[in-house]
Chain A
Amino acid sequence: MNPAPGRARGLALALTFFRVAASTELQYRVNFLLSLVQSVLAVGTSLAVLGLVFAKTDSLGGWSAGQLLVVMGVYVLVGGVIRSLIQPNMQQLMSDVQEGTLDFVLTKPADGQLLVSVRRIEIWQAVDVFVGGGLIAVAAVRLPGSVGVLPVLAFAATLLLGVVAIYCFWLLLTILAFWVVRVDFLVELFDGMYQAGRWPVTIYPGWLRIGLTFLVPLAFAVTVPASALTGRLSGWLLAGTAGFTAALFTFTRWAWRIGLRHYTGASA
């Protein structure tokens, strides 16, 4: 059995997990309808708020209504990615550390971090990805001037970087479980904090803005991709985003190794 090169293997593994999860979940069509209803209600509420705000003013912190609509679309899309791909895995990891079933992961001949990050998927939360995507498309079309190819590419790139940043953040929080064990309250904490991503972080006061950029990378997850699509992205910001995400990913990998060493007693 000749093992294929590492990264291709990782992707193949992830795809297998996805395929298995999807085929089981897709039989439950009612869940699809329910997810859709939920998603529509949530979006409706957000639109109502947006409508109320723009009944009283023309621009918010330099952002127009149309641009804020893009932000909302990205918020919903990324929210869908988090709830379908990232959160289920992190919650599973938390419970594995608590119940001792992490041992099963560690005795598998595959990278532990990879395994715990891709094995679970909540397919129906992915409805938000499509709803968000639709919202972005509608908003982008209604923006003054057409959206060029470059902004779209930049948008795709920053979106990917943003998702990676949020994944790293979530994993770092979950790695705390190696020391603290009971970290389930983190889920609620994060859910509450994610709400801050509805609006571009530039409207928040300085200290909050910094917190929402570097502590909880909501800026990178939502504001930056939205900026890319609405033509507010400078080359510097793009480079900065890439650099920050790369550094965060490296740091997360290191933290995972440290966490494992603690778990297995390798660090005396």
Chain B
Amino acid sequence: MTQASTAVQVAGLRKAFRVAEREAGLRASVRSLVRRQYRDVLAVAGISFTVAAGEVVGFLGPNGAGKTTTLKMLSGLLFPTGGEVLVLGHLPSRREHAYLRRITLVMGNRNQLQWDIPALDSFEMSRAIYRIPSAEFRRIRDELVELLEIGDQVRKPVRTLSLGERMKAEVAGALLHRPEVLFLDEPTIGLDVTMQKRLRAFLAEYNRRYAATILLTSHYMADVEALCKRVVVIDAGAIRYDGGLRELSTRYTRQQTLTVAVGESAPDLSGYGEVLSTDGGRVSIRVAKAETSQVAARLLRDHAITDLTITDPPVEDVIEHLFAAGTPAP
């Protein structure tokens, strides 16, 4: 085991793109031939974080937030404009073969398996590229195929597989060389709910077995909730939050939800707070966090309550507030 149990170290990472500006229309096209106008777009505006070996971190954020750009800089695909980044002690942008052998990249809805040949054949090619010894390769491959339940699918040409089966085969192919760091860019995008769950379960199990570090970007809350204890929220190229998922809710919201079971009578509880839903005998009310205990006490005193739970609002709402307001939710 190397001295550092830190897998990823990022300090002040920046990425700016020069985008050519061009309006529509013939005159503008001609003008742009003579004099090109450029605009600097700051995709990643100086972010810092560290990831320990074996951690699973989710990068959440709206489209265009800079999550994929960050991931690409970590995997060596993009050259940073500023700042420092070290993954497994290597500088990713050097793309040293020794580094590339220890990582893997999976991009949702983009395939690296060859279209017309069975996945098994693409696996063979991976074996050659990553120089995996035959016996070890066969063991790892069979294990992955079994874990992902794609035994039949890997013998058919990839183009005949459904989207979900293709994604599972992609993931299998990406893990044949037993990488220490997994970069997953929106891995569950476009998949149906069952397949998403299976994939998440697989990744969780993989992390448990092999202590691989997983960095995953997504805009599905469910991905992050299922897999990551730690979440990094990125918006407009900056980190808005970096920490535990639970704490995100508790810290950034000043509201809570009281759910009470009041039996058949279904009284009007709007006086206690904002009624969110009335479902059978259960009513959910949103109250300011500071008043939760008071409201709860009043409810218990005034009505025949058989059950009472206090929950934080769903993390999606919290995050939405974070993006919309730019500051912690009111």
Q: Please list the residues of chain A having a beta carbon within 8 angstroms of any beta carbon in chain B.
A: 1, 3, 9, 12-13, 16-17, 20-21, 23-24, 99-101, 103-104, 106-110, 115, 119, 261, 264-266, 268
Contacts and interface: CB of A to CB of B under 8 A. Distances in A.
A100 B107 CA distance: 10
Contact of B110 (A101, A106, A265): A101
A53 B282 CA distance: 95
Nearest to B127: A16
Given A24-B117, A101-B112, A107 B132 contact: no
Interface in B113-133: 114, 116-118, 121, 124-125, 128-133
A3 B75 contact: no
Interface stretch (B49-57, B97-105, B207-215): B97-105
A19 to B, nearest CB: 8
B130 A109 contact: yes
27 contacts: A1-B131, A1-B133, A3-B131, A12-B128, A16-B124, A16-B125, A17-B128, A20-B117, A24-B121, A101-B111, A103-B110, A106-B76, A107-B77, A107-B95, A107-B103, A107-B104, A109-B99, A109-B129, A110-B97, A110-B129, A119-B125, A261-B79, A264-B77, A264-B78, A265-B15, A265-B17, A265-B78
Closest 5 CB pairs of A and B: A104-B112, A266-B79, A109-B97, A109-B100, A16-B128
B254 interface: no
A1 B98 contact: no
A17 B104 contact: no
A231 B95 CA distance: 48
B18 to A, nearest CB: 8
A100 B128 CA distance: 23
A100 B77 CA distance: 11
A103 B129 contact: no
A100 B110 CA distance: 8
A110 B95 CA distance: 10
Contacts of B240: none
B72 interface: yes
Nearest to B157: A24
Given A107-B75, A264-B76, 16 more contacts: A9-B131, A20-B124, A23-B121, A100-B107, A101-B110, A103-B107, A103-B110, A104-B110, A107-B76, A107-B77, A107-B95, A107-B100, A107-B104, A109-B101, A264-B79, A264-B93
A4 to B, nearest CB: 8
